[in-house]
Amino acid sequence: MFQNLQDKLDRAFKVLKGQGNITEINVAETMKEIRKALLDADVNYKTAKTFTDDVKQKALGQNVLTSISPGQLLTKIMNDELTALMGGTVSDLDISTNPTVILIAGLNGAGKTTFSGKLANYLRDKKGKKPLLVAGDVYRPAAVDQLQVLGEQVNVPVYVNRESNDPVAIAKEGVEEAKRNGNNIVIIDTAGRLAIDEALMNEISAVKDATKPHEILFVVDSMTGQDAVNTAKAFNDRLDFTGVVLTKLDGDTRGGAALSIKSVVNKPIKFIGTGEKMEALDVFHPDRMASRILGMGDVVSLVERAQQQFDEKQAAELQKKIRKNKFDFNDFKTQIQQIKKMGNMKDLMGMIPGIGKAIKDVDIDDNAFKPIEAIIDSMTPFERENPDAIDAKRRLRIAKGSGTNINEVNKLMKQFADMRKVMKQMSNPGIASKMMRNMP
């Protein structure tokens, strides 16, 4: 995410490296580079100018403490200013009303329908709500089908009326349906267009007037940079939306939209989409995004994502098994599946400070676990629970059955045995305390 911008900012900071002090001259030079980096990332011109002027002012106004370098000081100022630029703090959804009506707006292909599914999933899973999805795109039957599939996938009901071609009526019916069935959230997915036109704006304004939504979320594709900001402005002028959803931040986006939207439309980014899967949705944290842009990593998000996938009961059971040295291939496979659910591997690793840059040219294959899973699947249930029972002949069969080769099977068996050994040592309190005592 934002790799190019990260690299360029890094280079800009180098101007200050080795300099003992922040002076008018070296700051001006650094700011010129930073502004160039921002413009290259497709940040709005005015935003970039105001931003660098602010940073410069702050930098010149501060004494450099002896313990930090001018580069470090500037990183800190940049971090604070980028955070402020993107809204400062997290902006929560207002979901206190029963039912809360949430209208989803945006152009075709922005990711509205996908986001509607993700939001329903998030509100049910994380907020304990009972959402209803409403299929309001009357022009594309495929969009209705898509929402139904997503609804099924995340286990949320979808209100559909294929007889009607009136989005206002459908939206109103959806809200009534929610009241009847005790759904406390109504998410209305609406039709988009390829570009902004009057008919679209009139239609969505009419849906707004008829349903009085508590939240209107404008969904925009972050890959479209400046265009995203212009579209946001046009939608906001008509709809006065309550928040922005930036999608496709997992792609090769330059970052311009994320950095400019708040300052241009003065509405907060509330969510970001980071993939096609239903779990690939994050609440937008300006501070975390700032530190990611500056290559400082985003350990907090990483930990949170890990925690979301973490099932306490399962973990306790796993602990017990490890203690008894009963960790088997079934447990191993469950662990792999949990890691996979956390999202794209490269994205995850990019959140670790210092790693993002190091792996930018490395091809990290999300399918890396496939052969391992295939090997485990080719074992019999007995073998999965008793790996020691797998002899040479069976290894050959497993290699054949899984479409891998004997080397891969041997490697996995060896890694698994090593892992069990380490686990056993770690879980044995006697050994752990002995190890502690031996520490310097």
Binding residues for ligand GDP, rule: CB under 6 A, are 106, 108-114, 192, 247-248, 250-251, 273-276, 280
- Give CA–CA dist 433/413, Å, rounded: 29
Helix (H, G, I), strand (E, B) or coil at 189: strand
189 marked as part of a ligand binding site: yes
For ligand GDP, the closer of residues 142 and 358 by Cβ is 142
Q: How far is the CB of 376 from ligand GDP (least distance, A)?
A: 29
- Which residue of the chain is nearest ligand GDP when measured via CB? 273
Helix 45-60 / helix 70-85 crossing angle, nearest 10 deg: 140
For ligand GDP, the closer of residues 278 and 352 by Cβ is 278
Q: How far is the CB of 218 from ligand GDP (least distance, A)?
A: 11
Q: How far is the CB of 292 from ligand GDP (least distance, A)?
A: 16
Q: How far is the CB of 165 from ligand GDP (least distance, A)?
A: 18
For ligand GDP, the closer of residues 196 and 423 by Cβ is 196
For ligand GDP, the closer of residues 364 and 419 by Cβ is 364
- Give CA–CA dist 51/33, Å, rounded: 13
First to last CA, the chain: 41
- Give CA–CA dist 245/267, Å, rounded: 11
Helix 3-14 / helix 286-293 crossing angle, nearest 10 deg: 60
- Give CA–CA dist 434/440, Å, rounded: 12
Q: Where are the alpha helices (DSSP H) in 247-285?
A: 256-265
For ligand GDP, the closer of residues 112 and 420 by Cβ is 112
106 marked as part of a ligand binding site: yes
190 marked as part of a ligand binding site: yes
Q: How far is the CB of 334 from ligand GDP (least distance, A)?
A: 26
412 marked as part of a ligand binding site: no
109 marked as part of a ligand binding site: yes
Q: How far is the CB of 389 from ligand GDP (least distance, A)?
A: 43
Contact indicator for 104, 187 with CB cutoff of 8 Å: yes
For ligand GDP, the closer of residues 15 and 133 by Cβ is 133
- Give CA–CA dist 382/367, Å, rounded: 26
Please give the structure tokens belonging to residue 79: 């971090």
Beta-bridge partner residues of 102: 187, 215
110 marked as part of a ligand binding site: yes
Tell me if the bond preceding 381 is cis, omega within 30° of 0: no
How distant, in Å, are the alpha carbons of 430, 432, 439, 440 from that of 436? 10, 6, 5, 9
